[in-house]
Structure 1
Amino acid sequence: MTSASSSPPPLPAPRDVRLRLAEPTRFGRTARRIDGAWWPRSDDLARELTGLLGVLPRAWGRISSVLVNGDTWPDCPEQMAIAGQTVHVGHTDSPTAPHTVCLLAPGRGRYDLLVVPPATTQAEADLLMERAVTQGA
């Protein structure tokens, strides 16, 4: 009798992470309140966040903390090991930002991404992501 091992699903490849970033200004930051849009494939924050952090621009630096909406992402760990480093995950209950994720990089700044819900249709997601990077959501 053999037993099947249940290994975790593979992490998203960089080409599988659905992310659009706003164009930086000449100072390296966007002049808007939203720095980009992210369309995760599932509600599994631990899995999705690992893929996201793996494709961010090097200029953003190392992300040490992530702030997510507790209603949108209720089941997430307080910290995660990503690429050999600990990333702290905090919750907010702010009603003004239910569909955003805030990424903090010490010495580099704060980056806010619009989060497009995973179940969104391709057409609607494309529109939301385009609007976020061109109009600042």
Structure 2
Amino acid sequence: MTATLSTPLSARLSLTPKTTKAGLLDGAWWPRSRDLAAELPSLVAALDGRLGRITRVLVNPTHWPVVPHKVPVTGHIVHVGWFTEQDPDKMILLSYTVGRCDLLVIPPETEPDAAARLMAAAATPGGVLTAGALMSDEAGTGRRMRAARSSEDAWETDGGSARPPRRHPVVGARMIAMPGSMRR
């Protein structure tokens, strides 16, 4: 079971339970914007009780238009570093108390259903998927779901049904068309 923390003014965050085996990720965060200076204080506040004082955050600048060097949070300053070698879909938070916390960062424009799936997957105890793998899996799922919806829409607007199967002329059983068969 995962711990999900979300209120209108708090960070949208899902974390693995404290008593489970470690995985590649410690949970997921779904910020409301790409403004790191505005989003980071609520994330740090939400993690304060679990991780202690967060002192550093490491991100890949790919998804953050501006990466500030320092962000003021309640009672202290968080130093922010960036590395292009880091997975662009992951954020690393460091604290004196716990050490390190790796979070999947879900893009703010993600649809709520997809974000819920990603948050649950990232908070799975002992998870072996990286942040990038989770995001590409979800992207594939999203494409397949959109294709299925579009097929359903085409089906509904195209008459909604195929021709019924033909009956065998002698027995009355349904005939199954064989590949390459052109009978009408």
TM-score category (smaller protein): 0.7 to 0.9
Gaps of 5+ in 1: 1-13
Where does residue 114 of structure 1 map in the other structure?
A: 104
User: How high is the sequence identity, in percent, across the aligned residues?
Assistant: 43
State yes or no: 1:15 paired with 2:7. Answer: yes
The 3-state SS of whatever aligns with 1:111 is strand
Question: Hey, which of these two has a bigger chunk of helix by percent?
Answer: 2
User: Match of 1:106, as an amino acid?
Assistant: Y
**Structure number with bigger Rg:** 2
Q: Which runs of 5+ in 2 are unaligned?
A: 1-5, 130-184
More strand by share: 1
> Normalising to structure 2: TM-score of the pair?
0.61
1:47-62 matches, cutoff 5 A: 47-62=38-53
CA distance in 2, matches of 1:130, 1:78: 31
Say how many residue pairs are matched. Answer: 120
Residue type of the partner of 1:117? P
Structure-2 separation of matches of 1:87 and 1:15:
23
Letter in 2 for 1:39: W
Partner Cα distance (1:37, 1:98) in 2: 13
RMSD between superposed Cα atoms in Å? 1.7
Partner Cα distance (1:77, 1:108) in 2:
24
